[in-house]
Structure 1
């Protein structure tokens, strides 16, 4: 008899070291080659075929991955598992660092795991959508699952309503697509406490975009997409990815794109723990085309950026930075 799907979501606590992250992914090959990178810290791992080969429960395979990762690289992992990417990801988010949570693939076990959780814990529901749902009395995923589809579609739209209804019942047919980690660069800001001030969120985003832009220019790369990941005080998170109008390493363009993604999340009252900004779909800058603008300010900004990069290369990364990032007197 064929095994039900068994998916693990693995979070590597590698301190943001991108080179180490790529090495950690090779550990997964020793269990099953069916893994998909989720930069900058995670991976989805389909271990369905490995269950029979190792004659082990998914929890045992997760423990084996954690053991090998710790023994070979000294890196701690947090692992969630279930019969879909959705359940595995949510289980990992609900798991204390260094531990493993596996949700059994039975309907009762899935419902017991999902139903008590707040609506914002369901992937795809950001703060604005969560506010809309709670305003209509839908506070938990179980309440969502019990709501008629037509009602959700009236609230959220036809396609989104159906997708949220399926996810609330644990339905997620997405496959784990094997492949190497995509070329990307990321930067992360951890707040010293749960930060509610949108001005501080935007200040952190500006610093991250400046860092990514400088890193990309140093390696002579440009990015085609930008991903914003916001993690909240309750350890849930929201991730949004946008394609850039043109591939770029211009800090101002990255900042503008990051702010637009942030504004669409509606985080005015969110308690934010950390913000990660990731540039992906990288390619050599020499192969990219910059759209010329009849705008002297754009040309001036790029000349200033080049001069700032030269100063940083000579005097260190903190030699030049935007005035709005200067420490308060």
Structure 2
């Protein structure tokens, strides 16, 4: 867990390099609209005049996004309420041109999100991928999952598909982020039975891995493909 000091400058510094989707209420459509105006990062949004954001997004949404970019959220706090979305980000040490290494990072992020969702008893209906480049531009893509899930292979499969859809052949990627969105309680979601012994085995292994992590920590067990991710 990262703790930010109760100081406006510290909050601004923490938020500045985050993608627009890190702000509550900013989904892939809004993020693409902001990115078209050169406002792909929270710091860029915070520096924009409120009137500009209101012209781009509308009066209410523009004002809300401006305030949240400054660490202000007027929504009432409900103790112990379930999160509506969760995210995870991986920053590369330098410009990452290798798609294999990017896929490894996405696998690690999907695994982290899946583990957190299952621990909280939640499932996601959608997944958003955000890619940040060396020139500080940002691309965001989102897609609805075939069914609400917290199953790591399903999250990973969609993350890979979103990555492939961007066709980043020679892109200088600095960071990738995944956000599981439109969350709901797992007990309220239905799952299509597959009668696939491979899927059943994967879910049993997943359950064992979750128990190991709960007892020994989040790094107690990780997918083999993430071993090279720093």
When normalised by structure 2's length, the TM-score is 0.72
Residues 91 and 101 of structure 1 are in contact (CA less than 8 Å); yes or no, is this contact kept in structure 2?
A: no
* CA RMSD of superposed structures (Å): 3.5
SS of alignment partner, residue 291 of structure 1? coil
Q: 1:313 aligns with which of 197, 214, 223?
A: 214
Q: Is the 8 A contact 2:41 2:138 kept in 1?
A: no
- Greater shift, 172-181 or 199-208, is seen at 172-181
Q: Is 1:40 the equivalent of 2:22?
A: yes
Q: What SS does the corresponding residue of 1:210 show, helix, strand or coil?
A: helix
Q: TM-score scaled to structure 1, two decimals?
A: 0.51
How many residue pairs match? The answer is: 192
Q: Report deviation, 1:224.
A: 0.3
What is the 5 A alignment of 1:138-157? none
Structure 1 distance, partners of 2:92, 2:218, is 21
Say which one has the larger Rg. Answer: 1
Q: Secondary structure at the match of 1:318?
A: coil
Cα shift at 1:326: 1.9
5 Å matches for 1:103-122? none
TM-aligned CA distance change 1:211 to 1:13, over 3 Å:
farther
Return the alpha-carbon distance in structure 2 between the equivalents of residues 253 and 98 of structure 1: 32
Give the aligned partner of residue 37 of structure 2: 90
Alignment of 1:1-329 (within 5 A): 13-14=13-14, 39-41=21-23, 86=33, 90-93=37-40, 100-102=47-49, 174-175=57-58, 178=61, 183-327=84-228
Change in 2 beyond 3 A, CA 1:300/1:175: same
Q: Is the 8 Å Cα contact of residues 91 and 103 (structure 1) preserved in structure 2?
A: no
Q: Deviations over 1:6-62 (max 9, x none)?
A: xxxxx954369xxxx9xxxxxxxxxxxxxxxx5414777xxxxxxxxxxxxxxxxxx
**Higher-RCO chain (CA-CA 8 Å, sequence separation at least 6):** 2
